[in-house]
């Protein structure tokens, strides 16, 4: 006789609703399919990394998530609810906020005004600012990220790194604005931060995970793996896979991003040219300026000299002074033995000096102008016959450099602002090459915001220029970049050159060797 035991029905635990979900997102631009059916899931209380080469669709996707771009097809769900995000305000009302790589601050307002803009609360009464209340509201956000910025300082007086910290503090105000657990998007938030500031930011991201979800975008794959729980990879406007960060390595993400394992010689050190050291191409003696003093510097033809230092060390102002963009108070600059007078940037260009600025969007290019116009801005003679522009001559010149540098653009007449960051940087670099008369190239963070593939292309071009005798001064984006690319490294500390370190192949210094002299 068998006994039937009635089983209780089994129930599975409900699957938590995703904080944010994207299904089949599509976006076309003229000649470009920026998004081609992208899927993305951001779980509650996680940090999701988003990786991909420049032009993979990351920026377009992020803009769609904060209401700046309207997709042509696809759906966006916030906590399971289908939403139409038609503006940044609507996105914020749903708890979605973003720290923009290109910054979105109003320069003539104070840091406090920018931080509370649109959600002033107690900071405004009857249409009148209550400055002390506004300062307290802003200070509360700045304290979260360990920033010592004066909330009442005008934003345009702050450094780029400090403005980035204001951006981060601003987006954290979404906690007060929305009734929902927020989704915070961080687009390249570490691109201009020093190591201590990066660690402070990572601590803040870990705090955010407790009550929010975070989308973290960085071209520094080691950062992505350190701070994220999962990584979704885009390639060619499509989602090509995801990987859990536990146990993952940068090479795995790189393979997914470009479809191959990539080169072991990331810095193209095997292509390093011998230095032509008969006479320094650039010779600087006792140069002093606003934030640097008594600087001596020699750079030979074909040599790459990197200058490293913490924020405020004076290296950025030194680089600008060598281009005539900052005044000097003492010292001399010689090029091939000839004393230079650099009252402005025009004189520097005439002397064969090129400069790629750190702030590409605001100083390195004119967004609405075409690729061709941006590429020939400083080399008018190269595109002219007599006093007039020769369209065919310009077209042939520009097309040759587009091909040579593998610039991905629908055409030479495309506005440069429509290109990805890596391709914009190639155009900015090409500007100094089209005339064929460049002797000294000043590179201020030339790989900032570029993916690993685009960085490698910039490094290859630097090696090629050095082989052609161009002297290069590099303000590197990281110590590893400086060590990998430089023949010599100068360490600046408090406006002075603290030490000089040789970087021969097979005898490279370690980052720790440099840090000891930087602080």
User: Which domains, ranges and CATH numbers included, belong to the chain?
Assistant: 20-258 (3.40.50.300), 269-518 (3.40.50.300)
d(Cα 352, Cα 393) in Å, to the nearest integer? 22
Confidence at residue 3, expressed as pLDDT on a 0 to 100 scale? 46
Confidence at residue 261, expressed as pLDDT on a 0 to 100 scale? 47
d(Cα 304, Cα 488) in Å, to the nearest integer? 7
Distances (CA, A) of 396 to 342, 372, 412, 434: 33, 10, 10, 11
**Which residues pair with residue 301 across a beta bridge?**
276
* Beta-carbon count within 10 A of 397 CB: 21
Q: Calculate helix-pair angle for 452-467, 421-431, nearest 10 degrees.
A: 10
Tell me, yes or no, if the pTM score tops 0.85: no
Angle at 503 between CA 499 and CA 504, to 5 degrees: 145
Confidence at residue 1, expressed as pLDDT on a 0 to 100 scale? 45
Report the chain's terminal Cα–Cα distance, integer Å.
85
User: What DSSP state is assigned to residue 361?
Assistant: I
| Nearest Cα residue to 50 out of 98, 116, 119 | 98
List the pLDDT tens digit at each of the 519 positions of the chain: 444 445 555 555 556 789 999 999 999 887 678 899 999 999 999 999 999 877 788 989 999 999 999 999 999 999 999 999 999 889 988 889 898 876 778 889 999 988 888 666 666 766 677 788 888 888 988 887 778 899 999 999 987 778 878 888 888 777 766 677 889 999 888 876 777 778 878 887 887 788 889 999 988 888 899 999 999 999 888 999 999 999 888 888 888 887 654 455 678 887 777 776 678 999 999 999 989 999 999 999 999 999 998 777 899 999 999 999 999 999 999 999 999 999 999 999 999 999 999 888 888 899 899 999 899 887 777 677 666 777 888 888 899 889 888 888 999 999 998 887 778 888 998 888 887 789 999 999 888 877 777 788 889 889 999 998 999 999 988 888 899 999 999 999 889 999 999 988 888 888 888 877 776
| Secondary structure of 450-514 in HEC code, one letter for each residue | CCHHHHHHHHHHHHHHHHCCCEEEEECCCHHHHHHHCCEEEEEECCEEEEEEECCCCCCCCHHHH
d(Cα 164, Cα 162) in Å, to the nearest integer? 5
């Amino acid at each position: 006789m068998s006994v039937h035991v009635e089983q209780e029905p089994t129930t599975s635990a409900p699957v938590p609703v995703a904080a944010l979900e994207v299904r089949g997102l599509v976006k076309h631009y003229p000649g470009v399919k920026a998004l081609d059916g992208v899927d993305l899931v951001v779980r509650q209380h996680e940090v999701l990394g988003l990786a991909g080469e420049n032009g993979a669709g990351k920026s377009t996707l992020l803009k769609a998530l904060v209401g700046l771009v309207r997709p042509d097809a696809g759906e966006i769900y916030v906590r399971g609810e289908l939403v139409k995000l038609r503006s940044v305000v609507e996105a914020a009302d749903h708890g979605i906020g973003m720290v923009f790589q290109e910054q979105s601050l109003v320069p003539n307002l104070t840091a406090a005004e920018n931080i509370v803009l649109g959600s002033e609360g107690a900071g405004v009464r009857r249409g009148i600012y209550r400055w002390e209340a506004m300062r307290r509201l802003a200070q509360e956000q700045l304290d979260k990220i360990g920033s010592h910025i004066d909330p009442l300082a005008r934003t345009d007086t702050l450094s780029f790194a400090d403005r980035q910290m204001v951006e981060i503090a601003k987006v954290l105000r979404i906690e007060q604005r929305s009734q929902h657990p927020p989704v915070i998007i961080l687009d390249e938030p570490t691109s201009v931060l020093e190591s201590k500031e990066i660690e402070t930011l990572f601590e803040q991201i870990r705090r955010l995970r407790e009550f929010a979800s975070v989308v973290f975008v960085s071209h520094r794959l080691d950062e992505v793996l350190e701070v994220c729980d999962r990584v979704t990879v885009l390639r060619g406007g499509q989602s090509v896979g995801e990987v859990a960060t536990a146990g993952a390595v940068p090479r795995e993400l790189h393979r997914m991003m470009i479809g191959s394992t990539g080169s072991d010689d990331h810095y193209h050190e095997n292509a390093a040219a011998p230095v032509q050291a008969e006479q320094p191409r650039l010779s600087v003696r006792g140069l002093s300026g606003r934030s640097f003093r008594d600087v001596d510097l020699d750079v030979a033809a074909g040599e790459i000299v990197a200058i490293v230092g913490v924020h405020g060390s004076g290296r950025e102002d030194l680089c600008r002074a060598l281009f005539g963009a900052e005044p000097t108070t003492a010292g001399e600059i010689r090029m091939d033995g000839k004393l230079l007078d650099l009252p402005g940037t025009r004189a520097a260009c005439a002397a064969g000096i090129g400069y790629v600025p750190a702030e590409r969007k605001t100083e390195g290019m004119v967004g609405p102008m075409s690729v061709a116009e941006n590429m020939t801005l400083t080399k008018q003679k190269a595109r002219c016959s007599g006093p007039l522009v020769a369209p065919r001559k310009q077209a042939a010149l520009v097309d040759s450099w587009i091909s040579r540098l593998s610039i991905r653009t629908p055409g030479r007449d495309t506005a440069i602002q429509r290109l990805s960051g890596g391709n914009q940087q190639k155009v900015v670099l090409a500007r100094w090459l089209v005339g064929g008369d460049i002797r000294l190239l000043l590179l201020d963070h030339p790989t900032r915001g570029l993916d690993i593939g685009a960085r490698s292309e910039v490094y290859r071009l630097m090696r090629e220029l050095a082989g052609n005798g161009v002297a290069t001064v590099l303000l590197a984006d990281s110590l590893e970049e400086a060590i990998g690319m430089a023949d010599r490294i100068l360490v600046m500390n408090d406006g002075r050159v603290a030490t000089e370190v040789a970087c021969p192949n097979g005898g490279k210094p370690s980052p720790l060797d440099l840090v000891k002299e930087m602080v």
